Amino acid sequence: MGADQDARAVPDPYAGLAAEVRAALVRRIAAAGALRDPAWRAAFAEVPRHLFVPYYYVPTLAGYERLWSGDPDADRRERWLRGAYSDGPLATRVRDGEIVSSSSQPSLMARMLEALEVEDGHRVLEIGAGSGYNAALLTHRLGDPLVTTVDLDPEIAEAARRHLAAAGHHPAVITGDGARGCPGRAPFHRIIATCALPSVPRAWLEQSVPGGLLLAPLANGLVVLRVHDQGHAEGRFLHTPASFVPLRGGGPVRTSVPHVGGLPRRVAESEQFRFLLTLTAGVLDPHEALSLWQREGRPERERFGVTVSGDSQWAWLDDPEGPYAWTLGAPGTERSTPS
């Protein structure tokens, strides 16, 4: 019997400790400025994250150590449970030394869900089922019929379905290519991706209602786009940095920061500059990126945005029609080259 099956119901002795550490997690997230919406605070307070991570992997010098609910050692079981309520990402599947699925950092999930601006009655599509925890939070807020989650990997989708059922939630869990959305359950008021993208799939716009929102990780950041119609969407990046597993089958993703030698340490380690490097990787020469960044007052993420118009989409600084814009998903075809 696999670990997922073993952990469908956490033994009663853990119920009290799980409630205690879950409440502590909610307090930490709230203290950091998230969970201002009582509905989301209630979701994080009531959805048991440990049911969605019956096992996970923590990095060690030798690779990864597996912690799981069925460990015969009581101390390690308690370590697993407390770790499930840490405010950090948890690697839930590792293949050939690479993380292919994870449960995101709870405080980051809280900020993303609040930025999604959901309202009662909204239909939501999640791209990347992961452990199922994010879908459970959405379902707690909106109800089973209004939530759909899609994952390309059948094993991940099935595990998410089991975890959700164990927690009493039954949204639609679909095995399929997230880049294609889920046309059979469209249209959606909100689409949220929990995997990094090279660009915004056109299918998501086509499956959104006019005025809907798309929230997706791009270039180590999070962009929120307002959908004007099936061919047009536009929006800006959130202040929050983010790192996610790439969308499988979605093409190369700009997630690594190019190495640029000869820079002052304070510049090389600047989160804002590293974001610009990642956003323009393969499109803009890193030294040009540095010149732009310094000349424009060291812009932070919120000054950058993304426009989707027909078959074209580009990232930009300050103004979508301004001088600084870079085509997404097609390295080497930037609209302009700052000097």
What is the distance between the alpha carbons of residues 313 and 232, in angstroms, rounded to a whole number? 9
Neighbour-count burial of 21, counting CB atoms closer than 10 A to its CB (0-12 exposed, 13-18 middle, 19+ buried): buried
Considering the candidates 69, 86, 101, 312, report the single residue annotated as catalytic.
Answer: 101
Give the CA angle between residues 95, 96, 98 to the nearest 5°. 65
- The C-alpha atoms of residue 55 and residue 64 are separated, in whole angstroms, by 12
Burial letters 65-77, b for 16+ CB under 10 A, else e: eebbbebeeeeeb
Q: Is 101 noted as a catalytic residue in this protein? A: yes
DSSP letters for 200-237? --HHHHHTEEEEEEEEEEETTEEEEEEEEETTEEEEEE
Exposure of 64 by Cβ count < 10 A (0-12 exposed, 13-18 middle, 19+ buried)? middle
Q: Residue 290 in contact with residue 263, Cβ under 8 Å?
A: yes
Residue for token digits 């790439």? 246
Terminal Cα-to-Cα distance of the chain (whole angstroms): 61
Distance CA 140, CA 40 (A): 9
Catalytic residue numbers, as ranges: 101
